[in-house]
Amino acid sequence: MRGKFNPWQMTLSQLDEVAREIDLDESIHQILRYPKRCLTVSIPIQMNNGKIKVFTGFRVQHNVTRGPAKGGIRYHPSVTLDEIKALAMLMTWKCAVVNIPYGGAKGGIVCEPRKLSLKEVERLTRRYISEIISFIGPERDIPAPDVNTNPQVMAWIMDTYSMDVGYSVPGVVTGKPISIGGSLGRNTATARGVMFTLMNAAKKLKLDLFEKTIAIQGYGNVGGNLAHLLSDEGYKIIAISDVEGGIYNPKGLDPIKVSLALKESGSVVGFKNADKITNQELLTVDCDVLVPAALENQIDEDNADKIKAKVIVEAANAPITPQADKILEGRGIFIIPDILANAGGVTVSYFEWVQGLQAYFWTEREVNLRLRDIMQKAFDKVYRICGERKVTMRKAAYILAIERVAEATRVRGLYP
């Protein structure tokens, strides 16, 4: 489903639509339509069998007007330059929505990490960073984990960069292990931010979440942690899925037992006390809250009219196509957009960066409380714009973000 739409054209159309809505200055509009820098690099590495294989990698910096570029690195066979450009632009808006001093970036390598050994992934990571090393740094561009990357990958990035400059630079990357300058609370930050936005929405919409059912597509870092966090709060999760498929039980699922089944069998479908469903079937199960936490373009015009949830929280980036968005809007479904809902990860990445620069680290409670405050302020601001302008939450979030970046662009002016 990912290949049906051009993600870059989708993000440009969203920008253009909001630009018309807010009567954005044409000169600023043109600046925002173009990424600052797009890198495509060849990554030759020696495989375990002794042969050389060349991979393709990307790093895109969309905008650095409000601060250094910030964005994850993903390893996936479907990575394209247009996808990375789109995600970099989304990162610009995401950072602006929660009002942290970053611009947007994104990186990726075209590969299937599940078919690579750990040593091959390490060599791939280190060679990729060596190819883009002139363009990253704590004051320039700070990578982070994304699809199929994790704290260990971030540790290799930090080490590669540090070896190049001759001293340890914890601030070059976020999402690191705690032992080398990572932040407490970072691993669950995106999921916790999703939970906070859902709880804020429930208050505004006067929904009793304890009486509602929740379905989560995706059981990686975000979906898996979210399932545990929501279950700990007492909310009922009735469907969960991963890349192999999904499970459904209207009486509720215990994420602890699901995770044990995942560890034993390699997939959540190994859990016995539930019906087996596909990822597409999960999207249309009878539930109150749907959380797409997997990949882009999962909800399109073919299945949007089959969605039964009343609230959708976009834990993944761009899981709903623009065409589907209009169908869901027409059906009155309340959508919390990705650039707001999943901004918890970049927010705590910002905390990690600040802690590293100061060499002064916070408790997990401090991290979570500061995250809650920022997510609540951002949600309230977006919800207010939504009501005042009579627009969707997505458009309201874009309006807030684009106006902030546009104002920074106007104030700084054009060099030379």
Active site residues: 106
Separation CA 45–CA 37 (nearest Å): 25
Residues 6+ apart with CB under 8 A from 367: 183, 184, 185, 186, 189, 348, 351
Separation CA 213–CA 290 (nearest Å): 9
Q: How many residues does the chain have?
A: 416
Torsion angle (degrees, nearest 10) of CA 398, 214, 185, 400: 10
Would you give the DSSP letter of residue 393? H
Total Cβ atoms within 10 A of residue 9:
12
Separation CA 150–CA 186 (nearest Å): 11
Total Cβ atoms within 10 A of residue 340:
31
The per-residue b/e assignment along 172-186, b for 16 or more CB within 10 angstroms, e otherwise, is: bbbbbeeebbbbbbb
Would you give the DSSP letter of residue 285? S
With CA atoms as reference, report the closest residue to 255 among 196, 304, 205, 195: 195
As separate numbers, helices (DSSP H) first and strands (DSSP E) second, the chain gives: 14, 12
Would you give the DSSP letter of residue 366? H
Run of H or E residues at 42 = strand 37-46
Residue 218 in contact with residue 241, Cβ under 8 Å? yes
Residue 97 in contact with residue 86, Cβ under 8 Å? no
Reading phi first (left if > 0) and then psi (alpha if -120 to 50, else beta), residue 390 is in left
- Between the alpha carbon of residue 377 and those of residues 112, 140, 331, 399, the distances in Å are 39, 27, 28, 16
